[in-house]
């Protein structure tokens, strides 16, 4: 766990990395964003519990696998323990363990004001929002920042998003994202009431250009103001 927390009045945000990442890499990836909102927020980074096994062709179950101990995932949507966000159907191997770990993090390192997720971490953030909305999560947070997010198409997750989620949310969507196409991110944003949509012309990144800075600052400052009324 990586903790950038400094002092008490700020927001405390749980940061959830993407597939084939880890907490340390996500700290580096989000450094410009942290600097931008440092006046109002601190971040706590956690590593996913499941090691990723790399295969030459993740859709071929017969290929040998090799492990990379620096890459982790929150769940897998194929029996060969691989994951792709664009896949339809399949299992959600390791998902229940991930939820238990998230709840433990909230208990031991929380409370958290909000959750920030990228890619598969953004997908997980959306699932957490839905669980909280339905009263099925032993954790509580007040907003979500979802970057390159999408709705999981794994079979166990098809029951999610039956209701509109009443939670402040910011959705950062890349028009040229080749990993998570923008229509998938749009579909997740539509599950939230009054979602803030921030588009950028880039790909599968955490963008902090001049076009996004004002949106990040305003959203985080608003949540900071709610906390410190």
Positions annotated as catalytic residues are 119, 177, 204
> 136 exposed, middle or buried (CB, 10 Å; 0-12, 13-18, 19+)?
exposed
CA distance 54 to 58: 8
Q: Which residues 6+ apart lie within 8 Å of 188 measured at CB?
A: 122, 123, 126, 146, 149, 150, 151, 171
> Three-class SS of residue 125?
helix
Q: How many CB atoms lie within 10 A of CB 69?
A: 8
Q: What are residue 169's DSSP bridge partners?
A: 144
DSSP conformation letters of 182-216: HHHHHHHHTTBTT-EEEEESS-SS---SHHHHHHH
> 96 exposed, middle or buried (CB, 10 Å; 0-12, 13-18, 19+)?
exposed
């Amino acid at each position: 766990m990586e903790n950038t927390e400094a002092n008490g009045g700020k927001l405390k945000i749980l940061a959830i990395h993407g597939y084939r990442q880890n907490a340390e890499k996500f700290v580096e990836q989000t450094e410009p964003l942290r600097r931008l909102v440092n006046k109002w927020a601190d971040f706590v980074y956690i590593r996913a519990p499941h090691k990723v096994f790399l295969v030459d062709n993740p859709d071929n179950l017969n290929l040998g696998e090799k492990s990379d101990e620096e890459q982790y995932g929150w769940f897998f949507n194929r029996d060969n323990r691989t994951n792709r966000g664009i896949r339809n159907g399949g299992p959600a191997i390791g998902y229940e363990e991930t939820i238990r770990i998230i709840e433990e993090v909230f208990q031991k390192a929380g409370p958290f004001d909000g959750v920030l997720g990228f890619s598969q971490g953004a997908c997980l953030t959306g699932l957490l929002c839905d669980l909280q909305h339905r009263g099925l999560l032993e954790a509580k947070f007040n907003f979500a920042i979802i970057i390159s997010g999408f709705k999981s198409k794994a079979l166990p997750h098809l029951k999610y998003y039956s209701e509109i989620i009443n939670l402040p949310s910011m959705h950062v969507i890349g028009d040229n994202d080749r990993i998570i196409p923008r229509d998938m991110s749009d579909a997740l944003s539509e599950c939230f009431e009054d979602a803030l949509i921030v588009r950028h012309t880039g790909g599968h990144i955490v963008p902090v250009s001049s076009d996004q800075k004002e949106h990040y600052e305003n959203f985080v400052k608003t949540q900071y103001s709610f906390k410190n009324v």
